[in-house]
Amino acid sequence: MLQKNSSDKNYRFYLGLILILLIIFLPFLIFKKSLFVISSNSMSPTLNIGDLVIVSPKDPDNIVAEENSGNILVIKGPEYYYKMGFDPSFWNFLDNNTPIIHRAIDKKKINETWYFLTKGDNNRAPDGSYSYINRSEDYLLIELNYSNGIFIPENEILGIVLFKIPLIGFLNLYFLPLIILLCIFFLICLIFKFNKIKIKIIKER
């Protein structure tokens, strides 16, 4: 009988631990499409590596585009820039599905479609405004042309950054997959443990 009580306590402990972990990480799963983690320093010091940002849609007409106070946009990925001739090596050959989070610094309307010029707060020039003049194994010669940035169309924009939660994004980057595996492991252990308890009780009766 004492062994049964001890097993029940262990059961409650593990179950409680799983519930706590799920409560902590459930928002990452439910609101996954609205949460993004900063993984580079291109927006530093406004946004730093490990910050979690909350993103919301916004009508392109109302998006503010200014050098220092424009809305921070979340762009689907670098594919459009690559199509427009931007060299992928400048962004370390980012995958097409890797979102880009940069500030809108200018906008223009062409045939009823808004186009936005973006720039990382920590970058020297707007996105797409630099190119190689010459490069070899020994050196790189890069041209920065501030008037030659690539304007991104509104259909490439996922939304704007509403606010950030500093450093909490590290949980999503490194710990979420581990926590999910641990929860699955604990659940399997609990199922086996609970079944053993039931079998023992039946035998004692």
Residues 60, 116, single domain; the answer is yes
User: Which of 13-17, 66-70, 113-117, 139-143 has the largest mean confidence?
Assistant: 113-117
Residues 114, 180, single domain; the answer is no
The tokens describing 81, both together, are 């820039």
Residues 152, 133, single domain; the answer is yes
Instruction: Give 14-27 pLDDT, tens digit per residue.
Output: 667 666 666 666 66
Residue 60, domain member (yes or no): yes
Residues 152, 182, single domain; the answer is no
Residues 83, 177, single domain; the answer is no
Cis bond leading into 45, ω under 30°?
A: yes
Residues 94, 158, single domain; the answer is yes
Question: Which has the higher per-residue pLDDT, 26 or 111?
Answer: 111
Mean pLDDT, rounded, for 69-75: 96
Residue 39, domain member (yes or no): no
pTM, two decimal places:
0.70
Residue 204 has pLDDT above 60, yes or no: no
Work out how many domains the chain is built from and give that number: 2
What angle is formed at CA 103 by the lines to CA 100 and CA 109, rounded to 5 degrees?
100
pLDDT the model gives residue 175? 57
Residue 37, domain member (yes or no): no
Residue 45, domain member (yes or no): no
Residues 179, 112, single domain; the answer is no
Residue 46, domain member (yes or no): no
Calpha distance 16→173 (Å, rounded): 24
pLDDT the model gives residue 39? 86
Domain that holds residue 76: 52-165
Residues 89, 182, single domain; the answer is no
User: Which of 153-162, 163-172, 178-187 has the largest mean confidence?
Assistant: 153-162
Residues 22, 114, single domain; the answer is no
Residue 69, domain member (yes or no): yes
3-state secondary structure of 171: helix
Residues 157, 56, single domain; the answer is yes
Residues 56, 10, single domain; the answer is no
Residues 122, 27, single domain; the answer is no
Calpha distance 134→163 (Å, rounded): 40
Q: Is residue 3 within 8 Å of residue 22, measured between CB atoms?
A: no
Residue 36, domain member (yes or no): no
